[in-house]
Each structure stands twice: as C-alpha cells, then as structure tokens.
Chain A
Amino acid sequence: MCTDCGCSDGSKATITNLKTGKVHEVWRSIVGHLHDAGHIHDHSRDQNHSHAHNHDHHHHDHDHTHDHDHGHVHGRVDLQQSLLQKNDALAARNRAWLAGREVLMLNLVSSPGSGKTSLLERTIRDLNGKLPIAVIEGDQATANDGERIAAAGAQAIQVNTGTGCHLEADMIERALGELKPKPGSVVMVENVGNLVCPALFDLGEKAKVAILSVTEGEDKPIKYPHMFRASSLLLLNKTDLLPHLDFDVDKATAYARQVNPSVEIIQVSAKTGAGMTDWYAWLSRQLTLVSL
C-alpha cells in the first residue's frame, strides 16, 4: 500500500500475457496514476502546480456563528478541467505511439454475449498469414477469452479490470508495452461487455466497432445512443439465426442511422462466415489509412 498517494483507495487491475504467462498486478490510485504492486515510484510530478491561478484570495472580517472568532483565508481556484482529461491525454499518447508504428488499433464494444470473441477467433483464423492480429482482451475476471484468442493463433494480453466496468487508456498503454505490435499489424481491443461506460473512455483507437447480435433488441442503438454514436462501424452479428427470430434488420439499421447517420453497417455471421469478407475489406481499408 502506498501511503503517499493512497493507492489502496483505487481499484486493482491485472494484465496477463497469455504467451509468457506473466501477470502484472496494477494498482490504480485515487490520484489517477497507475503503477505495479510493490512499486517504487517517483512523486516528483505531484508537486504544486503553478498554472492553477488562485484568485479572490482575501480575508473576511465577518461574524461567524461557528467555531472561530477571526477571519481565515479563503480562496477560489478556477479550474475548467475536463473530468476525463487524464484518460484523454493518455489516449492521445497511445494514438501517437500506434501511428508512429503504423499499427491499426480498434476498440470492439458490445453487450456481453454479442459474439465478440467468436468473431475475433474466426477473423484470426481466416486472416492467418495475411494480416497479423494481436488482441487485448478486457474482462472483469478470468483469462478464458484471452486463452480462446491465443488458441486461435493470435498473441493475446488479458486485462482483468476487477471491479471496473470498462478499459481505460492507462491499461492499454501497459498492454501495448507487453504486446509490442509489429508495424502494419492490427490490435483488436475487446472491451468489457458493456454498452454504457466504454463509450466515454478513449483508449487511443483508430475507431470503435460496435457489435450487435440479432438475438438482442433492434432498438439497442437508441437505448444506448452514446455507444452507437461513437462507433464508426456496426457489425450486425449472428445473422445465421435470423430465420428463427423476429428481429427486423431494417428497423435496427434505421435506429443505428438515427443515432449515427455516418455509421457503416455490415451484416455478419461469425458462425457460418457470411458477410465476413466485407468486414475483412473494411479492415484492410482502415489499415491503408493508418499507413498513409
């Protein structure tokens, strides 16, 4: 435990390299920085910030009914600081790091059970030898998904967020350092299954890809508009099940466009492979854009 910054007040995440089996325990402190358990760290950056300008710094001469009889010093600091500034700054750093290596990173978001992992397994197998793919798997607990990805033939890093409901940019920074993706490769981040929180936290990805399976409601896009609005591509998955369901594809598509007029939509079945070539074409197009 760190008594200086109160790490124990934060939450714990673990990062597992599925190839080496190496596990890092990561404490996320209340002051927002991340470090290894049993760490030695330098707090020199926690010094006073001279850019916070204090004003209205004055003495009051007024009668108080509470427990002091003469004026004390009050002050007001005008901050105007975004609550997500730290995460956004780290995400920008990740983005620059990836761009410098011409690596395409995508942030895959969906509800639990939409078929993200199966879709990735199929993608890895189909593109084996054509496109190097590495995966950062985010789940609250277990390395099950990371192991499935590794079995499909891709390098995988499992991030367990513990109590956290989404991945944040600092976890990705650490995972990328473990992965060391090669130039021209793709890093797929499989975010924690959750249509709410991951929309707010930029990881430094090139684009968010939302996955909606046809076993869910058509109105998911308008129920969770932040997520569908933030996504560049919508993969409508499990289309092989359509004959057995009342799911209305046109309705779902219309809802998605209502929230996000520019979203691209591709219908796929990770099981039968239908539509997967369109998804791969989208992937290679994105990869060309990265290396421009």
Chain B
Amino acid sequence: MHELGITRNIVAIVAEHAAGRRVTRVALDVGRLSGVMSEAIRFSFDVVAQGTCLEGARLDIRDIEGLGRCRICATQFATPALYTPCACGCRDIERIAGEELKVREFEFETSEHRASASA
C-alpha cells in the first residue's frame, strides 16, 4: 500500500510550504495511469494529516484520464491502460496525460486575525 507513503509525501510537502498556517484545502492531480489510487489517498489522508497543520483540511483530487499520441500517425486517443495501442496498431505512444502525481495548490487561513466569538 504505497499510497500511505504517497500521502505522507503530500502532508510533508504542504506542511513545509504552509509554514505553520492552518491548511483548509489541498488540491491534487492524480493520473489514472500514475500507479496510485486516489481512493487510497483519500482513505489515508485524514489519519496522516492528524496532528499536523493539515488536520481537517478538505482533499480535492482531480483524477486525470489517460491520453496518448501515436508517434507514427500522430492520432490522439484515450488510453485507459498503460499499454493501450493506437488504432493503427502502433505501440509507440507518447503519453500526454494520465501519469500526473502532484500537489496542484493548497489554501490556508491564518489564525492571528481570527475572532473567537461565536455567531
């Protein structure tokens, strides 16, 4: 279950850049062909984020479908599998999308200006 390690990386990367500010939302790009399941990241995120400045943050994952371009006939086509061949029979495919694995952005709020009165 390498998604646990991947989720640790997400928390580490964001925590480093958040520098103590409270993170409210984390946006990820996860390609369907990246070898990482977004469901498994969702599953482990809350546990990994516990006790960090990401605790309670909303996880916003954009799953990206596989897309390839044939190096012979230049056709662009959907690649549901890593090895989906081109309709022309060619297997020499350039991957255009589907292998992403990154933190796109995150949102934070700083606590110093917060008032504690309840509505």
Contacts and interface: CB of A to CB of B under 8 A. Distances in A.
A30 B109 contact: no
A75 B103 contact: no
Interface size class of A (residues with CB under 8 A): 35 or more
B115 interface: yes
A226 B106 contact: no
Contacts of B113: 59, 71-73
Contacts of A73: 109-110, 112-113
A10 B82 CA distance: 32
Nearest to B112: A73
A80 interface: yes
Given A52-B17, A226-B82, A84 B104 contact: no
A166 interface: yes
Contacts of B11: 30
A48 B16 CA distance: 8
Contact of A31 (B2, B15, B115): B15
B115 A69 contact: yes
B117 A75 contact: no
Contacts of A71: 113
A48 B19 contact: yes
A165 B1 contact: yes
A200 B31 CA distance: 13
A197 interface: yes
Given A67-B116, A72-B113, A81 B103 contact: yes
Interface string B81-119: 111010000011000000001111111111111111111
Contacts of A281: none
Nearest to A85: B13
Nearest to B2: A197
Interface string A194-233: 0011011000000000000000000000100110010000
B58 interface: no
A196 B2 contact: yes
Interface string A16-54: 000000000000001110000000000000101100100
Contact of A83 (B10, B82, B106): B10
5 contacts: A68-B116, A197-B5, A199-B35, A225-B81, A226-B82
Interface of B: 1-2, 5-6, 8-19, 21, 24, 28, 35-36, 48, 51-52, 81-83, 85, 91-92, 101-119
Closest 3 CB pairs of A and B: A197-B2, A67-B118, A225-B82
Interface of A: 6, 9-10, 30-32, 46, 48-49, 52, 59, 64-86, 164-166, 196-197, 199-200, 222, 225-226, 229, 258-261
